[in-house]
Amino acid sequence: MDIRVGDVLVMKKNHPCGNNEFSVVRSGMDFKLECRKCGHLVMVPRLKAEKNIKKVIRDGEVL
């Protein structure tokens, strides 16, 4: 998958705060994601993150 810094990922599972949208802060073998509601930073292995992505939003367009 082509995931870039600044993309917004809508995940299948919610964060404990109730939100399921995360901003990509860093990409590589791991993704560093920031919750768009509470600002919590999470490091997730690439394979696990790619399985749980429902959709990718880049600059207002849905991919």
**DSSP states along 10-62:** EESS--TTS--EEEEEE-SSEEEEEETTT--EEEEEHHHHHHHEEEEEETTEE
Which CATH number does the domain housing residue 37 bear?
2.30.30
Q: Does any domain span residue 27?
A: yes
Q: Does any domain span residue 3?
A: no
Q: Does any domain span residue 53?
A: yes
Range(s) of the domain holding residue 13: 8-62
User: In this predicted model, what pLDDT tens digit does every residue of 36-53 receive, in sequence order?
Assistant: 999 999 999 999 999 999
pTM: 0.88
Q: Does any domain span residue 32?
A: yes
What pLDDT does 62 receive? 74
Q: Does any domain span residue 1?
A: no
What pLDDT does 25 receive? 96
Q: Does any domain span residue 2?
A: no
Q: Does any domain span residue 50?
A: yes
Q: Does any domain span residue 19?
A: yes
